[in-house]
Structure 1
Amino acid sequence: MREVSRLIKFPQVIGEILGGLLLGPTVLAIFFPEIFENHFMLKANQKPALDVVYNLGLIILMFISGMETKTTYKSKERAIVSYLLAGTLVAFVLGFFAINFYGFQQIIGVKGDLFSLKLVFAIAVSVTSIPVISRIFLDLNLLHTRFSTTVITTATIQDMILWIMLATLTNRLSSLYSNIIQVVIVTPLLLFGILFVLPRLSVLLKNRKTVVNKNLLFLILIQSFYIIGVIVYLFNTNKILSAFLAGVIVNNLFGAKLTTFKKHLKKIALNSFIPLYFGIVGYKLNLIHNFDLYYFLGFLAMSSFIKIFCIYVCSTFLKFNIKTSMNFSIAMNTRGGPGIVLATIAFDAGIINEIFFTTLVITSIITSLISGYWFYFISEKETKNNEVPLQITTK
């Protein structure tokens, strides 16, 4: 299915999910129940092995995401990125309160934690997929453009914040008060460490003026990571943040020296563990019993409107024209892989139930398709008109 997706210009992650969907209770169990029961139905003694593959895929995915994360940015990018992040923040706040009108009784998980559910709902509204939007620009040969760089930079910082917040919510033993404290303290602390402390220490570490300074700074750097690790442990954050931070740290410590390593790791992971992870996500979907069409359509429309509207309004403050503002809005509304990872983590932690899990996964697929075809259409149209595709233009 991944190869089929590639041929019809779908994001490959969608093909991987659809492959799992076809072999799961949604399709195969309905049309060929005997084949499903004999060959594809998950037995109790098989579940631990599948969980190992599932978790390994998630950990490697988050580690690679950390390695691809930029922690230093050019001055020209900062103004645009700041406004786009402001739009994401407004979308997050609106999403947090929108659940009060949208209803939560139908989607709350076994944990019964309303505060965590509200944060997951807000993250689901505001998250952007770096892998999917990057792949779309790569396929269109537009990854080098200022537009794509700005989108990916914004999505990187935004998702970094959201991942840290999500990681603080997945402790099953946390109380409401504990969750609030975790989000308020851990998120800014880790974000400050990643965006400000880590880049500066890494630059100083590469200064080879004296061996003493280098060794001293190396010790400071290691101690900083140790302190971060202790904080993560004390606040019961989980494997997502650990894998992500490990990727960020390794990338900052070794940088260009890891080019070959990253290339081989991505090649192995993208052809084994990560596709299996998304395939298992598709397998877990049960659109027959756990899919509420009206709830899904309502969430898709509401969340897309909030995100697109907020990014569009913030883009107008930068005096971008309508086309550029819409391009930024559609790009930032791409949920893709992070939306799916959010769904699986929140569901496994008992924050959401099967209905919202399915809703989030399908929403991620649909928004990725919309973005893919939107930018394919825009780039084709602008190329035919002898224009430079995806130029950032003002009024």
Structure 2
Amino acid sequence: MTLSRFSTDVYAHRLSAAAAAAGEAGLAGLVITPGYDLRYLVGSRAQTFERLTALVLPAQGEPTVVVPRLELAALKESAVPELGVTVRDWVDGEDPYRMVVDALGGQAVAVTDAMPALHLLPLTELLGVVPVLATDVLRRLRMIKDGAEIDALRKAGAAIDRVHARVPEFLVPGRTEADVAADIAEAIVAEGHSEVAFIIVGSGPNGADPHHECSDRELQAGDIVVVDIGGPYQPGYNSDCTRTYSIGEPDPEVARRYAVLQRAQQAAVDVVRPGVTAEQVDAAARDVLAAEGLAEGFVHRTGHGIGLSVHEEPYIVAGNNLPLEVGMAFSVEPGVYFPGQWGARIEDIVIVTADGAESVNNQPHELVVVPAR
């Protein structure tokens, strides 16, 4: 059975680092309700309800989990019991927000960006000040993947590679995009993912829409098909990989433009290393396309960070001068789109190493030609 979380020492280190970061930011502590931040810090997959569940992490002192008594069972699969974190359960009629404030020991508080307004407003009223977002405190911790996270991303990448290896058998003229997506969904789970996060099957003109999902359009000989797929792999780290397929031999001009895109994607991967900025990676891909007159066809950023969330920091986009560091993980996915005609995208997840980038995706980058059978 695949573990649903990391070992307890991983979470103990994260709690200590997050508390230290809160202190360095001049905060009394953090309040983290269910979501990716809570899962990152203690491995909890608790859900948000109208009754408050929150991890209270003071900059000084021991952490506390405030939880409704009827939700106590939700903590059993997390690292909370093994971490020795104080658990304060409450029942209807008690004030959980007062429990949170008492456990903090100060007013300068940061809250997770996933905290619902129904919890933020009563907490704010008791504190007497509006909390800030914990994003700035947790950003670097979540961006720099540790060894356990990198291993999980590698496994997720290998699993989605196995799915892409099966995609050509699904691309049969006369089948609909929805038919293909259903087969891919089954394959994603069969190859080890816990569930499907997203599936894009964009054939012909639908491939020119970067966020097209799937439709009842039937595949045809001559179609260029964009397939962008991914999902979480235990303990919850995501895959995300795009390859582009041609049903039958492509038109020579399509092949030429695709070859330029392939060079652009490789140029962006090649420039990745510590100290290079996120916007420089974006520019590396964009410059190759611009030199061939294809700049206007590239309508989105070059990439996004990935981990527990499919989209997280760092964002590989113009204007982001964040220097890359060892352990950052993100997509490199330039695309070209020609409305009403076709589109193409190539996407790998890469991890920054001491001297470059490690790709967790290793399926061929060439335009995959599928027989028009």
Which of the pair has the greater relative contact order for Cα pairs under 8 Å at 6+ separation?
A: 1
TM-score normalized with structure 2 length? 0.26
Q: Which has the higher strand share?
A: 2
TM-score normalized with structure 1 length? 0.25
Q: Which has the higher helix share?
A: 1
Structure with the greater alpha carbon radius of gyration: 2
